Structure 1
């Protein structure tokens, strides 16, 4: 097992781009290699050693035997774990944009908040955010139609707008609340939100499943055929309790499923229930 520890000694007002510093690419590196490396900063490159001291211990024959630990104020460090396929990264701070973007395997743990586009177009692996994340978590990028296709994103706090936009696979779990339009344009996959949702989850969804265990502020008119289900099994998982199940979004001839905790969303129940 090899541990590579980045200890920050200086921050940058312009985001540092860490997409090249993943287990796949640096599993053979020693301290001297990091002293020679220049990290992208905007349109230029500067010595990594200006920003971080790097300690290397142990050995690795493959990327999966590497653990990267990043210490300091990482709020201007972007693309942490982007495109990684194996190994482990632990970021001991809140992080900047695109953490875990295009990730295919391995694990990332963020001991803080994550900026926008965390887990963007993720294909595999596990991304755990111990704090909150902003908009477009697990989503597609500008101009694309396909978001997250595999893997797991777990947010211990709350999520911003358009969580799981264009989701085509994988699973997103949010322990806190979610903002507007969670699961917009999704076709497959599972989104579970334990807290409250602002409004309009599943807009234009065509497939997949959304489970809301908190209170929903407003439901789109495109969700129909409401029925009460007990202990539903959704994507191989059993959810205990009474749920209101909707199908939609009919604006797109959608066949997605939206489940609302019935006790917390009594205002959506008709007199028949």
Structure 2
């Protein structure tokens, strides 16, 4: 096993780009190799050793035997783990844009928050962010139609808007709350949200599953009430509890499933005459 430790010396006002510094590329590097490397910053390059003291310990026969440890303030370091296929990266700080973007394997742990586009277009591997993420987690990138296709993203805090946009596979688990349009344009995969959702999850979804345990502010018109389900099994995973199930988005002949935690939304639904105390009278849950 090889451990490569980056201890920050100073920060940069312009973000450092770490897409070349992934286990796939540096598993054979020595400290002398890092001393010669220049990191992209904007349209220029500067010695990486101006910003980090780099310590290399152990040997690796491939990227799967590498662990990168990044210490310091990483808020101006972007593309960490971008396109990695193996190995482990530990970020002991919040990070900038595109952490885990297009990764196909390996694991990344961020002990803080992540900026936008975390895990965008990833096809495999495991990305965990202990804090919050901004918009477009696990989503497609500008001009693209396909977002995350595989792997797993876990967000310990809250997620910003359009989490899982264009999701075509894999699983996203948000343990906090989620902003608007989670799962917009999704065609496959699972988005699970433990907390509350602002409004409009699953817009224009064609397939896939969204499970919301918390309170939902508004549901789009394109979802049709299916009924009450208990302990639903979704792609081999059982979600304990009672859920109100909807399908949609019917505007696109969608066959996606939205499971809304019944207990968390019972009071609001009853207030609008959507649901009685025994769940025996349910009508459509529209924009309330």
User: Which range, TM-score by smaller chain?
Assistant: over 0.9
Query: C-alpha separation between the residues in 1 aligned to 2:52 and 2:71?
Result: 9
Residue 165 of structure 2: aligned partner: 165
Query: C-alpha separation between the residues in 2 aligned to 1:260 and 1:75?
Result: 35
* 1:198 maps onto 2:198 in alignment: yes
Residue 56 of structure 2: aligned partner: 56
Residue 13 of structure 1: aligned partner: 13
CA RMSD, Structure 1 to Structure 2 (Å): 0.7
Residue 4 of structure 2: aligned partner: 4
- Aligned residues between the structures: 273
Residue 46 of structure 1: aligned partner: 46
Residue 147 of structure 1: aligned partner: 147
Query: C-alpha separation between the residues in 2 aligned to 1:258 and 1:76?
Result: 37
SS at match of 2:264: coil
Query: C-alpha separation between the residues in 2 aligned to 1:178 and 1:144?
Result: 23
CA shift for structure 1 position 4: 0.1
Q: Deviations over 1:203-232 (max 9, x none)?
A: 000000000000001110110033000111
Query: C-alpha separation between the residues in 2 aligned to 1:236 and 1:16?
Result: 41
Following TM superposition, the consecutive aligned residue runs of length 4 or more in structure 1 with deviations greater than 6 angstroms are none
CA shift for structure 1 position 251: 1.2
CA shift for structure 1 position 252: 1.1
Question: 5+ residue gaps in structure 1?
Answer: none
* 1:243 maps onto 2:243 in alignment: yes
The two structures have a TM-score, normalised by structure 1, of: 0.99
Question: 5+ residue gaps in structure 2?
Answer: 283-288
Q: Deviations over 1:133-189 (max 9, x none)?
A: 000000000011000000000000000000000000000000000000000000000
